[in-house]
Amino acid sequence: QQQVKQSPQSLIVQKGGISIINCAYENTAFDYFPWYQQFPGKGPALLIAIRPDVSEKKEGRFTISFNKSAKQFSLHIMDSQPGDSATYFCAASMDSNYQLIWGAGTKLIIKP
């Protein structure tokens, strides 16, 4: 019940296309859902995060869509660029315990 399942494991998208990464969770007590971006040789960095009181959050080309009833959330990258090539992690937590439960990661490659 603590798991966060992330798909796909890897994704190749043409430059200018839309990249979509999906995550699903079981624990309805989760109330914080961040996405982290990791470039090779670097630590993950927070990209965007959402609370379940909203269904969508947009920051530039990055959008989180959240479906509370389906217990799913996804990251959409519009107009994908080669510089977006990285590994993306979704995560979830409950405010009360500060522990993030991480998805397995998606390696995204944007082809020029």
Partner 1 sequence: EAQVTQNPRYLITVTGKKLTVTCSQNMNHEYMSWYRQDPGLGLRQIYYSMNVEVTDKGDVPEGYKVSRKEKRNFPLILESPSPNQTSLYFCASSLSNIFPYEQYFGPGTRLTVT
Q: How many CA atoms lie within 13 A of 89 on its CB side?
A: 15
DSSP character string of 56-79: EEEETTEEEEEETTTTEEEEEESS
Closest approach, Cβ 51 to partner 1, in A, equals 7
Residue 76 sits at φ, ψ, to 5 deg, of -115, 130
Residues that bind partner 1 (CB under 8 A): 6, 9, 32, 34, 41-46, 49, 51, 89, 93, 98-100, 102-105
Tokens of 2: 């603590």
CB closer to partner 1 out of 7 and 17: 7
CB closer to partner 1 out of 88 and 110: 88
CB closer to partner 1 out of 4 and 13: 4
Closest approach, Cβ 85 to partner 1, in A, equals 18
